Structure 1
Amino acid sequence: MLNDFYEKLSKKEDKMIEIRRYLHEHPELSFEEKETAQYIEDFYKDKDVSLQTHIGGEGIYGIKVTIDSGKPGKTLALRADFDALPIKEDTGLEFSSKNEGVMHACGHDAHTAYLLVLAETLIEVKDQLKGKIVIIHQPAEEKPPGGSQYLIKDGILDGVDNVIGVHVMSALESDHVYYREGNVQSGRNIFKLKVTGSGGHGSSPHLANDPIVAASSFVMSLQTIVSRRLNPFDMGVVSIGSFDGKGQFNIIKNEVTLEGDVRGMNEETLHLIEDEVKRLSKGLESTYGVQCDLEYTRDYPVLYNDPELTKQVAKAIEEANISEVKSVERCEPQPPSEDFAYYAKELPSTFFYVGASPKDKKTYPHHHPKFDIDEGSLLIAAKSVAAVTFDYLGVK
């Protein structure tokens, strides 16, 4: 049955690519995905399936599709995200974004495209399956606090036993599938620090108290957290992404605001970094006589892949002998954060990767204006998840 199913998916590869390109042309930012959600809803409208929309509450565009075989068995959820990023596209693709300043620069268009066609094909053969499959189309993965929390609170995991997710990765070699058990993607915290001094004339700094100098010292001191406070074998990153010190050249500003990003591969590291950021902020007040107002937010948790489920997933893909897949490999942990982690906190889950490095041009990282993928990764994602789904449900 699986080989017949693969043949069906192969015949629909062009459809996957067509959907991906349409979504790529029409990206929408997190929590603003109204038209994308409508496109997904319309896709399922005439299909023999249970469809629930606006999962997550007012202004949240979560969609839940339940494929019920009518036979007893477990319930597996398959999740894909569909939001884009506030990035001006510079790929030169014929299907580049038509929404100025918004771009699918992470691959969520590909995730949605493969899962739509996979779900459609599963619906076509649902009488031959067992148990249930829940399709989760999730908005707002990119923007804190993340869409998954809203969906979970609204009951999208009710009755679900396990959750599977996939990400296409431009940094990983195409035609390969990658997995890892345990802590696989970093947790993330964010902070905002307002440093208030005393403004004045640039010619008379002694009559002012320059917050830019104090804030610059804070930026440099932050780097000692990783180099001098963390165990060298622990992964931790502290980055300042915004330093709002713009003003006229001869005016000492009254205040500046910094915004920072923190990553760690375990909760202990994240707590240590948080304590150090707060300590350095307090120290800035004593050292420079400024006032520091710190907002520190614990954001996406570390993504933990259940070891047993991950082993089952990798084995299912390996034994499926998918013709397009050259190898199934255990990979290193991935530095970015991912709000799939919230599903994994609720239920044993696994998030794996499909290599998508373009074969005929330079590879750019996720969130880059020139980001693109090998579109062959869509079919590989669909077949890999199909292999996992059939194995999980005990269908031969």
Structure 2
Amino acid sequence: MQIIKGLIEKHYDSIVSLRRHFHTYPELSAQEYNTQQRILEELSALGLAPHKIAGTGVIAKLQGALPGKTIAIRADIDALELQDECGKPYQSQTPGVCHACGHDGHTAMLIGAAKTLVELKDRLAGTIIFLFQPSEECFPGGAAPMVEEGALADVDAIIGTHLWQSLSSGTSGISYNRMMASPDSFTITIKGRGGHGSMPHQTVDALLVGAQVVTALHTIISRNIDPLEQAVLSIGSFKSGDTFNIIPDTATLIGTVRSFTMEIKKIVFDRMEQIVSGICLAAGATFQIEKNLGFPPVINNPQIAEVFANASVETLGAENTLTIDPVMGGEDFSVYLEKVPGAFIFIGTGNKDKGIIYPQHHPKFDIDEKALAYGTEIMVRTAMKLSSSNENLKR
């Protein structure tokens, strides 16, 4: 429907203004009180009856004039603990807090979708549920509390979008199965026996043991995982010792494992235990491994992904609707997908000509704001297609 594009053009300036407002005044996970209030005000002004959910989240319902399915659209609303260096007039005014992942845009797009769908109410089949979710950036995340408080009650399917810098503005990317990995973390604490740096023979050098562990752990993916399978193991922190002439008695390693299946996850963590145990035994050290299993992987429903792709073709053209490989980042949108069928799509935001080249979670991260119109239109078209569909949606 051409009317959709026209309505989004009508609301585009307000969507951009909202995105800039949220970018200027970001709030961390579970602290999105002002963000929540602004969302409530915007949705109430549309004649909807939004209410709070999961602490700092918001849920609202739009009933169409025609019979149909109930479709949920989700946006995450929290920011990151990061200093904003985007250098724009809308740069964060909150020290050490920054929307460097695009959630400000997600929130603005979903409000824009609500504005558009309200004007299409007479043509709308079924019911649209707008979910503004807190705490995506902070494990255990906000999706589980949303579900526990009834966000998916009577919902037939759910969709979500993510602004994605590595894709060019004017394109979208979707996978018809695996989309995003399960993000797990671990902490390895190695205990040795400290001593004077001039007398290493009297010690069990935890730093040296830790270094051997780091090297050995990186063989797990290359030597124990099928090369055709997808998995990542990375060490992000290695802390041991404080001064030049003291051999430390403790080393702490913190890292992440990314995978798509429980089988691969088990292989990685089992081998981790074997490797750390063997190296520590040989050195005379002891160890402890703490595992923190994260969200499930985001696995798109192929049927709904196809509807998403068709909506993108109508918005951006077939040549700009890309089938992409899965990414190893994680997302708690997967929690919804465990309950109802759904799909997740990336909306490109990169633009080298505008200097928009910095990746997610970078202090200079920004987006090409034209992507806000594209993402809003794709969400509206997908929601309307699904709500009016006669097909049985299966997980």
Who is 1:20 aligned against? 19
* Residue type at the aligned position of 1:30: S
Q: 1:145 aligns with which of 128, 140, 148?
A: 140
Tell which deviates more after alignment, 76-85 or 64-73. Answer: 64-73
* Residue type at the aligned position of 1:47: L
* Residue type at the aligned position of 2:350: S
Deviation for aligned residue 1:147: 1.1
Q: 2:189 aligns with which of 187, 191, 194?
A: 194
Gaps of 5+ in 1: none
Distance in 2 separating the partners of 1:388 and 1:336: 24
1:330 correspondence with 2:323:
yes
Gaps of 5+ in 2: 390-395
CA deviation string 1:132-158 (max 9, x = no partner): 100110111112111111111222111
Deviation for aligned residue 1:197: 1.3
CA deviation string 1:186-223 (max 9, x = no partner): 11111111111122222222222221111111111110
State how 1:25-174 maps to structure 2 within 5 Å.
Answer: 25-53=24-52, 55-56=53-54, 60-69=55-64, 71-174=66-169
SS at 2:275 equivalent: helix
SS at 1:152 equivalent: helix
Deviation for aligned residue 1:10: 0.4
Instruction: Please say if residues 49 and 68 of structure 1, whose CA atoms lie closer than 8 Å, have aligned partners that are also in contact.
Output: no
Who is 1:3 aligned against? 2
Distance in 2 separating the partners of 1:289 and 1:151: 48
Distance in 1 separating the partners of 2:32 and 2:240: 33
Q: 1:176 aligns with which of 171, 175, 190?
A: 171
Distance in 1 separating the partners of 2:255 and 2:41: 39
Instruction: Please say if residues 264 and 302 of structure 1, whose CA atoms lie closer than 8 Å, have aligned partners that are also in contact.
Output: yes
Distance in 1 separating the partners of 2:10 and 2:16: 12
* Residue type at the aligned position of 1:337: G
Instruction: Please say if residues 231 and 264 of structure 2, whose CA atoms lie closer than 8 Å, have aligned partners that are also in contact.
Output: yes
Distance in 2 separating the partners of 1:131 and 1:137: 20
* Residue type at the aligned position of 2:339: E
State how 1:245-264 maps to structure 2 within 5 Å.
Answer: 245-264=240-259
1:339 correspondence with 2:332:
yes
Deviation for aligned residue 1:75: 0.3
SS at 1:171 equivalent: strand
Distance in 1 separating the partners of 2:340 and 2:365: 32
SS at 1:279 equivalent: helix
Instruction: Please say if residues 187 and 267 of structure 1, whose CA atoms lie closer than 8 Å, have aligned partners that are also in contact.
Output: no
Instruction: Please say if residues 221 and 231 of structure 2, whose CA atoms lie closer than 8 Å, have aligned partners that are also in contact.
Output: yes
Deviation for aligned residue 1:228: 0.7
Distance in 1 separating the partners of 2:220 and 2:235: 13
SS at 2:371 equivalent: helix
Distance in 2 separating the partners of 1:73 and 1:394: 5
Q: 1:374 aligns with which of 368, 372, 377?
A: 368
Who is 1:317 aligned against? 312
* Residue type at the aligned position of 2:215: M
Deviation for aligned residue 1:31: 2.2
Instruction: Please say if residues 193 and 293 of structure 1, whose CA atoms lie closer than 8 Å, have aligned partners that are also in contact.
Output: yes
SS at 2:150 equivalent: coil
State how 1:198-237 maps to structure 2 within 5 Å.
Answer: 198-237=193-232
CA deviation string 1:23-61 (max 9, x = no partner): 1111122222222222212222333223120x22xxx31
* Residue type at the aligned position of 1:390: M
Instruction: Please say if residues 206 and 285 of structure 2, whose CA atoms lie closer than 8 Å, have aligned partners that are also in contact.
Output: yes
Q: 1:357 aligns with which of 350, 369, 389?
A: 350
Instruction: Please say if residues 61 and 139 of structure 1, whose CA atoms lie closer than 8 Å, have aligned partners that are also in contact.
Output: yes
CA deviation string 1:229-281 (max 9, x = no partner): 11111111111111222512222223222211111233322221121122222
* Residue type at the aligned position of 1:38: Q
Distance in 2 separating the partners of 1:253 and 1:197: 8
CA deviation string 1:356-396 (max 9, x = no partner): 1124215121111221111100000011111112222229x
Who is 1:299 aligned against? 294
Report the aligned-residue RMSD. 1.8
Distance in 2 separating the partners of 1:362 and 1:151: 33
* Residue type at the aligned position of 1:215: G
Deviation for aligned residue 1:325: 8.3
* Residue type at the aligned position of 2:338: K
SS at 2:168 equivalent: coil
Distance in 1 separating the partners of 2:317 and 2:222: 43
Deviation for aligned residue 1:311: 1.4
Distance in 2 separating the partners of 1:266 and 1:375: 36
Distance in 2 separating the partners of 1:124 and 1:246: 63
SS at 2:46 equivalent: coil
* Residue type at the aligned position of 1:98: Q
TM-score normalised by the chain length of structure 1? 0.93
SS at 1:386 equivalent: helix
Instruction: Please say if residues 175 and 326 of structure 1, whose CA atoms lie closer than 8 Å, have aligned partners that are also in contact.
Output: no
Q: 2:386 aligns with which of 373, 392, 395?
A: 392
Instruction: Please say if residues 174 and 377 of structure 1, whose CA atoms lie closer than 8 Å, have aligned partners that are also in contact.
Output: yes
Deviation for aligned residue 1:306: 0.6
Deviation for aligned residue 1:69: 2.2
Q: State the aligned residue count.
A: 388
Distance change (3 Å), C-alpha of 1:247 and 1:348 = same
Q: Percent identical across equivalent pairs? A: 33
